[in-house]
Amino acid sequence: MADITSQFDFSEAPRSGYQRLMASIVRSMTSYAEKRSRRDVMDALEAKSDEELAKMGIRRDEIAYHVFRDLYYV
């Protein structure tokens, strides 16, 4: 019995101009989304103790509201 394997890296495949354009747009959008991410702020607040949050006037269950308060009016 024969076992055949092959490895082909699709990232190295030749791309048309349209595919390169679309890949560039996707990379740009991903970069923009990562820069606008507020996950680091949420992680920092979640790492604080309840006493530290109370001094800031934030309850633990309101961290997301606090971080995104300028984007969503809830």
* Predicted confidence (pLDDT) per residue in 16-47, tens digit: 888 889 999 999 998 888 878 888 899 999 99
Q: Is this structure's pTM higher than 0.85?
A: no
On whether residue 18 sits in a domain, the answer given is: no
Confidence of residue 1 (pLDDT cuts 50, 70, 90): very low
Q: How many domains is the chain built from?
A: 1
31 occurs within a structural domain: no
Torsions phi, psi for 14 (to 5 deg): -65, 140
Percent of the chain with pLDDT over 90: 42
Whether 51 maps to a domain, the answer reads yes
Instruction: Specify if 69 maps to a domain.
Output: yes
Measured CA to CA, the distance from residue 2 to residue 36 in angstroms comes to 51
* 64 in Cβ contact with 72 (< 8 Å): no
Element (H, E) at 65: helix 63-67
Give the per-residue pLDDT at 17. 86
How high is the pLDDT of residue 26?
Answer: 92
Its domain, for residue 70, covers 38-74
Q: Give the model's pLDDT for residue 32.
A: 87
- Is residue 58 a part of any domain in this protein? yes
Tokens 């959008």 belong to residue: 29
